[in-house]
């Protein structure tokens, strides 16, 4: 794992966006996360597109997950969130038909999960956030480390964390989702995980220094050959070997 401790979110977004811009090619498959963590990164990709330095035209973007049961036009549906961030010539040049999200409104959710798993193959670059309980995508603690795209159930903790996107109303956060599995995420050729804030500190410590465990799903990334962790000081605050990581800051 490459570990880079940053002094701010902005520094992490600068580094992550530079890496994506440097490695982008027409036809690339970019794995995209939702939540608040990657928003500054997407803003930088839009800026780079506006300046002619980056484009997702002719490339594709693949969501990690999608809620089940939201109205198709619900602004917090992840397809709608990602469309607003990335799609169109005024954003990153990504075409609507090249934005791929699991179909959370399917009547046969298992079939939708299988279809997504088959379609995604492997992405070239995956952007990840992390939950306070160590989840990546919507892979909650105790799920299989070998899972593929599946129907999942959100923990109460995750629904409470996401209630801020639903006017603070936990009851309107869906209970079910479709999510890439951990094995799906592990097929990405390269992964950049961003973590900000004190509430991520335990999860980051487990991710980098803990044993691999289904109870801390992100720890599966210890088996991936090309992962970069970008964490701010608060998110890094429970790391035991923090001085070592700081000294080598190995981007």
Q: Residues 173, 178, 182, 187: is their CA dihedral positive or negative? A: negative
Under rule CB under 6 A, which residues in 26-85 are in contact with ligand PGA?
35-37
The CB-nearest residue to ligand PGA is 35
- Which lies closer to ligand PGA via its Cβ, residue 145 or residue 163? 163
Q: Would you say 76 or 88 has its CB closer to ligand PGA?
A: 76
Q: Which is nearer to ligand PGA, 88 or 157 (CB)?
A: 157
Q: Which of residues 129-148 bind ligand PGA (CB under 6 A)?
A: 129-131, 135
Q: How far is the CB of 43 from ligand PGA (least distance, A)?
A: 14
Between 37 and 59, whose beta carbon lies closer to ligand PGA?
37
Cβ of residue 135: shortest distance to ligand PGA, in angstroms?
Answer: 6
Kindly state the tokens that stand for 225: 């050959």
In terms of Cα–Cα distance, which of 70, 80, 38 is closest to 176? 70
Query: CA-based Rg of the chain, rounded to a whole angstrom?
Result: 17
217 forms part of the interface with ligand PGA (CB under 6 A) = no
Binding mask 112-131 for ligand PGA (x = CB under 6 A): -----------------xxx
Q: Is 93 in the site for ligand PGA (CB under 6 A)?
A: no
Q: Which is nearer to ligand PGA, 98 or 162 (CB)?
A: 162
Residue pair 136/185 in contact (Cβ under 8 Å)? The answer is yes
Should residue 104 be labelled a site residue for ligand PGA when binding is judged by CB under 6 A?
A: no
Please state at what angle helix 78-86 crosses helix 39-50, rounded to 10 degrees.
30
**Packing angle of the helix pair 9-23, 39-50 (nearest 10 deg):** 50
Alpha carbon of 68 to those of 109, 117, 175, 205: distances in Å?
A: 9, 17, 8, 31
Residue 88: half-sphere exposure toward Cβ, Cα within 13 Å: 7
Binding site for ligand PGA (CB under 6 A): 35-37, 129-131, 135
């Amino acid at each position: 794992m490459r570990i880079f401790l940053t002094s701010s979110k902005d520094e992490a977004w600068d580094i992550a966006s530079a890496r994506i811009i440097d490695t982008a090619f027409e036809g690339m498959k970019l794995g995209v996360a939702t939540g608040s963590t990657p928003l500054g990164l997407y803003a930088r990709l839009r800026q780079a597109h506006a300046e002619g330095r980056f484009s997702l035209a002719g490339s594709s973007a693949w969501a990690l997950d999608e809620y089940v049961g939201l109205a198709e036009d619900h602004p917090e549906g992840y397809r709608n969130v990602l469309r607003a961030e990335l799609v169109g010539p005024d954003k990153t040049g990504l075409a609507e038909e090249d934005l791929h999200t699991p179909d959370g409104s399917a009547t046969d959710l298992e079939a939708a999960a299988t279809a997504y798993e088959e379609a995604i193959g492997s992405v070239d670059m995956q952007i990840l956030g992390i939950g306070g309980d160590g989840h990546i995508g919507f892979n909650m603690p105790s799920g299989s480390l070998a899972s593929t795209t599946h129907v999942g159930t959100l923990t109460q903790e995750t629904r409470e964390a996401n209630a801020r996107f639903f006017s603070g109303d936990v009851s309107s956060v869906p209970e079910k989702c479709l999510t890439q599995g951990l094995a799906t995420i592990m097929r990405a050729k390269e992964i950049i995980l961003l973590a900000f804030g004190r509430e991520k500190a335990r999860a980051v410590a487990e991710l980098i220094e803990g044993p691999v465990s289904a109870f801390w799903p992100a720890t599966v990334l210890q088996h991936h050959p090309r992962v970069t962790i970008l964490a701010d000081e608060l998110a890094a605050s429970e790391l035991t070997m923090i001085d070592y990581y700081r000294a080598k800051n190995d981007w």
